[in-house]
Amino acid sequence: MTSTIKFADIAVGTELPSARYPIDRLTLVKYAGASGDFNTIHWNERIATEVGLPNVIAHGMLTMAMAVRVVTDWVGDPGAVIEYGVRFTRPVVVPNDDAGVFLEVTAKVTDLLEANRAKIAITAKFDDQTVLGRAQAIVQLT
């Protein structure tokens, strides 16, 4: 675990570079294959709407993984993330078109902890609405 960010170089309020991640139906198929999560709400519009969803939705764990990328890209080593948690608050609805949607992610340092660790608050939005609540990571810095 070797972060490229130095603890001494950050402060509470430090903003990480924001990111915009595309999600389309192909992304959902690839994630289903990699994760083994073939739940029909992630690929079948009829089933998704029958259970009360507006359309096919992205996997929650896919959304969670995409959101933490702003932290791993910033810190330079995915292994530097020592804790990560979220609450799923709203689904990411993925239309059946070539455009798909975008997950907009921002993050900032909210606390400096002992042993060169920092707490990062993450905000993930789709269609200008927050999709993950209490999303935060703790990273080990050098």
Residue 126 lies in a domain: yes
Instruction: Answer yes or no: is 82 within a domain.
Output: yes
Asked, for residue 124, whether it belongs to a domain, the answer is yes
User: Over the Cα atoms of the chain, what is R_g?
Assistant: 16
Domain count, the chain: 1
Q: What value does the mean pLDDT take over residues 75-95?
A: 97
Cα–Cα distance list, 113 to 10, 12, 37, 86, 93 (Å)? 12, 10, 36, 20, 36
Enumerate the H helices of 41-105 as residue ranges. Answer: 45-50, 60-75
C-beta contacts of 9-14 below 8 A and 24+ residues apart: 10/109, 10/112, 10/118, 10/141, 11/109, 11/112, 12/109, 12/110, 12/111, 12/112, 13/108, 13/109, 14/108, 14/109
pLDDT at 30 over 80: yes
Q: Whole-prediction pTM value?
A: 0.94
Residue 34 forms part of a structural domain: no
Instruction: Give the closest residue to 25 by CA, choosing from 50, 42, 49, 46.
Output: 42
Query: Residue 135: which CATH number?
Result: 3.10.129.10
Give the pLDDT of residue 1.
64
Is position 107 within any domain?
yes
Q: What is the mean pLDDT of residues 43-67?
A: 97
The mean pLDDT value for 109-126 works out to 98
Which domain, by its residues, includes 103?
7-23+58-140
